[in-house]
Amino acid sequence: MAQRIETKYESRMIMMMTEQTPLRFQRWLRLSLAAAFAALTLLGAAYAKPALILVVGDSLSAGYGLTAGEGWVDLLAKKLVREKISAGVTNASISGDTTAGGLSRLPTLLSKHRPTHVVIELGGNDGLRGSPVAAAKANLLKMTELSKAAGAKVLIVGMQMPPNFGLSYTAQFEAMYADTAKATGSALVPRFLEKIGADLSKFQPDRIHPIAAAQPALLDTVWPALVTLLK
């Protein structure tokens, strides 16, 4: 077993307490203080506040068309338990939500839940409505800034638009996620649906929302970036 190394604070305390102490007590004092500091360290870890992940998204994260417990956010909560990671999950996603809607709800969510991590999965509905990219980007920037100001680490989950929206719009839309992450120093998942792509067998009849069998792939896409933030 590796030998325990004393901290500078422990060494200083031991020196102060042993300078005028008979030699026969010095070893006993050293061992006692080391045990006390170790106990305090373990006690601090036991009472450390666990992480709380707040997911602010749209129908893709709200579990639209799925049975309770099948969505990727529900699978995330289960995976955290399996991986023995001390973190809870609060899903504040709403079907049909936009970046403007998420921004309007965020201050209350931050105040109520006090998350340590915020996952922002929004923008898809902005794009499907042909909303200006500049407006959506401004909303994402503000959401990220508010989350960071509240002390949370942020993960931005990006989306893509179908090519029929035009090359210019789709390029600008995809770039807004990377631009926001770079400008705010946030983590990024560039393409949320990348693992299921255009495979229509992975989608519900509306061709927009992934089926239950595709949810693990969504979690696998988010997980590497998220678990890095949790370390």
Indicate which residues carry an active-site annotation.
Answer: 59, 206, 209
Measured CA to CA, the distance from residue 134 to residue 114 in angstroms comes to 29
Query: Tokens 């595709």, residue?
Result: 214
Residue 13 CB contacts under 8 Å (≥ 6 apart), including other chains: 33
Quote the DSSP letter at residue 203: B
Distances (CA, A) of 91 to 27, 192, 222: 54, 17, 15
Nearest to 211 by CA among 227, 199, 224: 199
Task: Return the half-sphere exposure (C-beta side, CA atoms, 13 A cut-off) of residue 130.
Answer: 3
Query: Tokens 């201050």, residue?
Result: 107
Nearest to 144 by CA among 172, 112, 122, 173: 122
What token pair was written down for 222?
A: 């988010």
Are 115 and 54 a contacting pair, CB within 8 Å? yes
SS3 label, residue 191: coil
> What are the φ/ψ torsions at residue 10 (nearest 5 degrees)?
-65, -45
Nearest to 229 by CA among 106, 84, 117, 69: 117
